[in-house]
Copies of this chain bind each other. A is one copy, B any other.
Amino acid sequence: MKKNDHNSLHAKAIVIDGLQISNWSKTVFQNNQKGGVSALTATIAVHENFRETIRNITEWDRMFKKYSDLIMPVRTTSEIQLAKSFGKTGIILGFQNSVPIEDDLDLLTIFHKLGVRVIQLTYMEANYAGQGCLECIDAGLTGFGREMIGEMNRLGILVDLSHVGYQTTMEAIETSAKPVAFTHANPKSLWDHPRNKSDDQLKAIALRGGVIGATIFPAFLPSGNKATIEEYIDVIIYLIDMVGIDHVAIGTDFTENQPRKFFDWLLSGKSKKGPAMTLNHPLSNPRGIQYPGDFPNITKMLLARGMDAADIEKILGLNWLRLYREVWEK
């Protein structure tokens, strides 16, 4: 095998990151370009209400203009391919919570028109749709949540369940007429963390044609801040062995340049008591996949593990592309 094999394979591949929630800047976009990232789903709302989310969309509009040499908005799989051909990173707008639609399902139509293509039903806590994975109850999908999924299916918005509680997740998988995703989550059987997913959840997602994005977020890896890319590759291989090559992808959850207070805000949610989950600050991403510029290392490591090029391309982006096509365009 030639030394540069992984670079040529990576350069040829459509590379999609299922989730980033970075402190967006020219540097972040340059890092993604350096990493050969063809598209990524950017979290543009977590705890924001409708009006605040609209503001975030206008901020993205400004960034699309300002950094048009590095990024472009993508709303279709053909636009992802276009971004790839331009050497830019396509940005898919995503929410990590359904609170931006408040109590009005019609706002899904508005957000779809504005380019939003991925919505996580809940963040860590309960909302109108169901319960998050750190909520003290786990009662399942609400009536509103069921209608929401129907409307997301109709419009073509991917249902993300990464932070969603067990019962709500299982019912959402069952309710959705289209495949759904854990855009950024790891197996609980590898590392027992409330944000990781049990085998039956992972298998249920795959059984319905969905995709799981393996995350590099240190808290969700066995070695935490001491993890390396080897451990991350182990997660990917473990997931492939469990659910098959067509249902595993990358969802890094990169949080580039986010300050400590950002994590406190994320994890506090509606609570006045402070963060509901503790993190070992300062966070340190796995050596070898510390930032988006390291993306080619994933290709390198998968090749080193003996995976063939066609399978690597699925993991790098084709599985997301297939899922997006199925959810957005059918």
Q: Give A residues with C-beta under 8 Å from B.
A: 50-51, 54-55, 57-58, 61, 104, 106-107, 109-110, 113-115
Contact = CB atoms under 8 A, between A and B. Distances in A.
Contacts of A106: 55, 58, 61
B58 A109 contact: yes
Contacts of A51: 50-51
A interface, over-half SS:
helix
A106 B52 CA distance: 12
A35 B11 CA distance: 57
A109 B50 contact: no
A29 B51 CA distance: 33
Contacts of A110: 54, 57-58, 114
Contact of A61 (B50, B109, B114): B109
A291 B166 CA distance: 58
10 contacts: A51-B51, A54-B107, A55-B106, A58-B106, A58-B107, A58-B109, A61-B106, A110-B114, A113-B114, A113-B115
Contacts of A115: 113
Contacts of A113: 113-115
A288 to B, nearest CB: 40
A86 B39 CA distance: 37
The 3 closest A-B pairs by CB, nearest first: A58-B106, A61-B109, A58-B109
